[in-house]
Structures are given as structure tokens and as C-alpha cells.
Structure 1
């Protein structure tokens, strides 16, 4: 027996989940398929920062990425208040804002001036008395700029998006994940539109279905660093002399309550197969220069290799918008960054409207398909140094 539904989505990362929740709330009959675990891969590997674009304006460089991202914090905050196109009021933020930590001196002063004027918004230099206690004792000498960039609790965001409609989030078998359109046909599920948000799997699915004409993607690998126990909670970009921070630090908690610093930006910009010791050494140098009073004796380290996949750009730079590719009634989407999930949702909504797919108001029973669990956070499965 054929079951006709409005939309099928493949991939339960932030892109698929945001679109899924938004479409379900609008009355669409949607099935979300995931082969491994909800939020696995690039989503839980993100640092959870809702970028305002400010860090991309450093060194006098106000680029298109900065302009595109600047409206995103307000979109996310509305959702966190339960006032957006999705309801994230059941989730929380880990920090009200990421900070820019800018060293003292002439260059630091110029960088701070550029950063604060480039995009406007609610940025301001914090008085030393306003610094978090850990930063006060860290030996940092320079300026701390409040960026108005909330840092999300990503596992909570995933649950807020999936839990209300969990019966419609189901597992696609590993052996069928490369051919999700065939899987839908074999199970008698006829979707009026399909959205594929399977990150690194998108291009292969498009190619096998001859949907890849005009589609170009790129891989930008990272080797993110982790260290525990973190000496104090910190959410900061350590600003250097380019538009790429020396390190970006966010703080997370393991299942047993230990604090972890998760390290991105320049310390992580290397091949996935690189020697982890390179990451640890780069992190130690960054902390020596910026936070010299922090004691790193007894610290355990780990790395997380990430293969970021997105629409291709000239010079393989980060795209300044999400990527959405359409082949007939099948859409292939990459948000580029967690921050861009609302923007990708807008693009998907426009395409679905162009396809003439209206919300049916139905809720098909998918109980014949297996359920799928939430992914484990990277810091809870990392291989730590002894």
C-alpha cells in the first residue's frame, strides 16, 4: 500500500531538524530519516556559537559572510523564546555571548575599533571588573569584547527540535542510506518533495540519481582539539593578526560533569590525518600567549577529526550563505554553519512553495520503521591522552 506524504527529509543534523520542525509546525506531513543518530557528525561537532559575523570583520575585513550572518543571533534568540518559526524554548544557551579577546597594543586597539564598528549591533568592550572570574585570574592582558553571540547547548537544541515530533523521526538502514529515494519507493512511501541534508552523503546521493548537474561541493577538514579538565568556563575567540582567530574556545560538560574546552579556529585548521600533537602544541602556544597564568599540568588532550562538506567556492573558502540545489522535486541542502540553519529553512520553504506542495495537515503513521537515538557528544567518546 502506498503512503503519500508531503515531504521526506534525509539527515537529522541541524539542517534537517530545523526544516523538519518548521515544516511540521506549518502542518506538513513530514518523515525525517537518519541512518546513525540524531545530531551525529557535523552538528554535534560544532561549537554551538551563533555567529554575528563579527569575527569575520577582523583585520578590517568586512566580507559577505559577515554581512550574511549578522541577522542570525536575533533569529535564534526568537526561537529560544518560543517566538520563532521553530520553538526552542525547551533548550538553553551555554553562554550569553562569545567574547573577543584582543591583545593590548596598537594592533589590538585598531582591531577592536574595526570589529566594533564593522557591523554595529550590541558589541561593547567589557570593563575588567565585568570579566568572568577565570579570565581575571588567567593573566590575559588586553581587551575583552562582548559580541552578542549566544553559545547554544547543542544537545538540548536537537531535543527541542526532534522531541515534539519524535514519531516521525525514524532510522534508515545503513545499507539503504546511500539510496534513500529507492528506500522510500521500496517502502511504499511517496513524497511530494524530498530534502536531502546528509552532509558528506549529499553529493553521492545526487550523483547516483543523476541530480548532480551543476552541483559542486568542497571538503574543508578540521582537527578540533579537546582538553580536560578545563580550568574555568570560557567562551572566547583569541584574536590574532588575521581574520582567523588563533583559537576559538567553548566550554562543555562530559556526562560525569567534567568541564571540557573545545578548540577550533587556527589551532584546528589542518588535515584530519595530521598528528594530534600538532593541535596540542598549537593550543599550548595560544594559551601561553593569551592566558599565561593558566596551569596546563595534568591536562588530558583529545582530537576530533571533522570533514566539513558544503557548496564549492572560489579558493575553497567558507561559503557566505547556505547551499541549496534542486533537481525536480528533490532538494539537496548544506547549511554551511549551524548559524545558518534558519536561512536554509527560508530557502527550503521558498522551493517547496514553488513546487506547489501545500501542507496537508496529516500525520502519517511511521511506526513500521525503527526509531533512532540521539548521538553521543564528542567529549563523551573521545580517546583522551593519559
Structure 2
């Protein structure tokens, strides 16, 4: 049996695992990442790509949702410009800004909500022809605000994070992977067995559980009941049409959530897809696909009636947002979630936006525990398969 010594073993090839792989390798640690399916997974690749600050939109108040989120767009922009925590130079930016629009009946209240942010320059009112399509149409009578948020192409982000570290990333199914633990739930070894290959034994100094919804199975294997994972379902709607305007905007609604959130994603065939979430997706989690699409069509007809959607094709997809459960079963992320259990570190980024925060927390925890780089990377590649990069729903649902 071949034995591998490594500083860090990561389970999960979504944004959390890939971001940590890059941060830890840059810090000199030897790292092996194991993914059971495709890189990007179901949750990361189907994220809308908004890197947002700490605003939540609603009629009752315009709240600062999360203090630390206010800094996130700037941190990501530093990375995109080849600085910051790690280089994301070459990752495609779909829009330098996310916008918010309000209906005429909500215009005065929207202005009041944004008053303090307008003064500090964190939000800008956009007028006339400076408004993005489709809000410079004469039929539009509401207000438009430019936010500090940006929108990135998530598949290109996954590609950027994975490509420099191919010799660290392997595909292993759960049934071929066994965690050996002691009575304090420390992971002493990870055994990988598969037909036709020599068994592997990996001795990690730290194990990072970054598997999103897969963390539950890993925690069960470790005999840990906590932290508890929570699923929050959403029902996203996709709209494809060859002549769609590029929209990156929230619609101010009658609650503390955007009525709609729209981002636009180009596809391989040269068309564009609107990816629609917000309150529509959260309240529609229990609807079937047909009813959810019908509801989305009514919303678009009411909110953007001048946009010609004749001939558009619609699809719907149900997703689970994965979070740790908080007190009373509701978790409001103020940071990415990082918690040590023995020599295991359980992480959930909670929001893709918080990936830099996740990286900083994990590095700080390793420093606190005195875990410095010790083992070199294996000289030879492991005899394991390599995972492919997955595809987002806007590339697969319309085939």
C-alpha cells in the first residue's frame, strides 16, 4: 500500500475547496484535493456570479446585511487585477456593476433607503441614457441605482482556480474512500481503494471538509453530529432568447428581498440566458417547474413589459443553498463558516462572495494551531482519475 504524507487534504471541488487549494499552495502547504464528481459541483457552477456588498433590499428598510460583505467587491477586484489574496487575472467579468431598479410607485422610498449610501458613493443614481439596457427605454419610469457589486463568470473562475493545480486534484467516489479516526474524531488516515489500482493511504495533518452538501456524509463518517447542515431550496428560472439585452439587476419589491434578481449569461451557441432569482426563486421552491415558469412570465410582463420576449424558451431548476444551521434553525452568515473538530476543519463559504474571508480564516486557524508547511508535494501524480469541470444550467438545460 502506497502511503502519502501531506499537510492538507481537502474534500470538495467547489468554490470553497478550490479557493483554499490556491491559498494554501501559495502559502507553501502541500495539498491534495478530492472531488467525487465534477469541479464546480452543483452549487458553485449554478451561482449567479454576483460579488455583492452588504445590502439587503426591501420596503421596510434598506439594511446593511453583513458588515464584512461591504469590503468583498473591492477584495475581488484586487484579485481580478492580479493582486489581492490570489490572482484571478483572466477570469471573465460579465458586468462591472449590479444595478437595482424600482417601480415608479416605490421611487421615493428607494431614494430614502439609499440616502446614506449615495452620500458615501457606495451607490450611485443612474439617469437617462447612462442607464443600462433595458432601463433607458422611454417606457421605463422608475429609478435605477448602480451598486458596488460586480458579476463574474463562474465557469471561468472554476477554470482559473483549478488549472494551476492539476496535480493536486483527483476524483474519488465516496464508496472508494474511508476515513480512519480516533476516539476524539481526529482523522489519522484516509484510505482510497478502487478496482485495478494499488490502495492508497493518505496521512494528512489537517483535513478540510469543503464538500458543500457532501459535508453531511463526511461528518457522519467522522462520527460527528455537529455542525449541523441546513438546506435552503430555491427554484431558479432561466430564459433563453437570441436578442436578450444584458441585464444585471435587482428589482426592489415589497419585502426585505429583491422581487427579482436577473443576471445574464452568454452561452456557447452565441445566445444569452437570463438567470432569474430573488423572491421569485425563494417563494417558488415548492412550485413545480410549469407553475414557476408561469409565475416568472407574469412577473416579467408586469415589471419589464416593453422587453420583447416572444419566442423565448424557459426552463426552471431547483437548487439547494447549503449553510450551517444556526440557533433556531436559521443561520445568518456574518462570515464564512469555519470550525475545527479535532484535526478536521469544517467549512461552508455560505456565499461565494465570502471566499476570501474563508481563506483568511483557515490560514489564521492553521497559524493558531502551529500548522506550518512541512511535507513536499508528491513527486509523482497519484494513480487516480482527474475530475472534469462541470457545466452550469444555462449550458445544459436547453440542449
The reply to whether TM is greater than 0.5 is yes
SS for the counterpart of 1:307 is: strand
Give the one of 180, 191, 197 matched to 1:185.
191
Distance 2:46 2:178 in 1: 22
CA distances 1:207-238 after superposition (whole Å, capped 9, x unpaired): 2212334x122110011110011621100001
If each structure's helix is expressed as a fraction of its own residues, which one has the higher value? 1
Structure 2 counterparts to residues 35-184 of structure 1, below 5 A: 35-56=36-57, 59-63=60-64, 65-105=65-105, 107-117=106-116, 120-137=120-137, 139-176=139-176, 184=190
Native 8 Å contact 2:24 2:31 kept in 1: yes
1:259 counterpart = 2:272: yes
CA-based RMSD: 2.3
- Show the counterpart of 1:278: 291
1:225 counterpart = 2:237: yes
Native 8 Å contact 1:311 1:323 kept in 2: yes
- For structure 2, the residue ranges without an aligned partner over 5 or more in a row are 181-186, 193-199
Q: CA separation of 1:379/1:67 partners in 2, compared to 1, >3 Å: closer, same or farther?
A: same
Native 8 Å contact 1:221 1:272 kept in 2: yes
Alignment: residue pair count: 381
Question: Cα offset for 1:318?
Answer: 4.3
Native 8 Å contact 1:178 1:205 kept in 2: no
Native 8 Å contact 2:189 2:203 kept in 1: no
CA distances 1:241-286 after superposition (whole Å, capped 9, x unpaired): 2221111000002221210000111111146563112322232222
Distance 1:14 1:218 in 2: 18
Distance 2:230 2:136 in 1: 41
Native 8 Å contact 2:52 2:73 kept in 1: yes
Question: What TM-score comes out, normalization by structure 2 length?
Answer: 0.89
Distance 2:3 2:310 in 1: 62
Distance 1:138 1:283 in 2: 23
Bigger Rg, structure 1 or 2: 2
1:207 counterpart = 2:242: no
Segment drifting more, 52-61 vs 251-260? 52-61
- For structure 1, the residue ranges without an aligned partner over 5 or more in a row are none
CA distances 1:37-94 after superposition (whole Å, capped 9, x unpaired): 110211011100001122347632424x332311110110111011111110021210
Question: Cα offset for 1:5?
Answer: 0.7
Native 8 Å contact 1:140 1:290 kept in 2: no
- Show the counterpart of 2:196: none
Question: What TM-score comes out, normalization by structure 1 length?
Answer: 0.92
1:367 counterpart = 2:378: no
Distance 1:286 1:178 in 2: 49
